[in-house]
Amino acid sequence: MEFSQEKMYWIKKLLQEKEDTLEYAIARDKLIKMYILPDDPIVKSNDDYWKKSMN
């Protein structure tokens, strides 16, 4: 796999940022769109969240 300067930039950015920051999320999203990182799995929807907040 050949890495462009742009790919290297986003990989470096991802590794430098804290996981819960906007910058980390942006870098991760860019790498997902470049097919460097796998996409997040789809979460099956259910009513558990709403049941908890109603009580």
In a domain, 6, yes or no: no
13: tokens are 């950015």
In a domain, 44, yes or no: no
- pLDDT score, position 8: 94
29: tokens are 């999203």
Q: Answer whether 0.85 is exceeded by the pTM.
A: no
Residue 16's domain spans which residues? 12-39
* Helix 22-33 × helix 5-16 angle, to 10°: 150
In a domain, 47, yes or no: no
Between CA 26 and CA 22 the distance in angstroms is 6
3-class state of residue 29 by DSSP: helix
What confidence tens digit (pLDDT) does each residue in 27-38 have?
A: 999 999 999 999
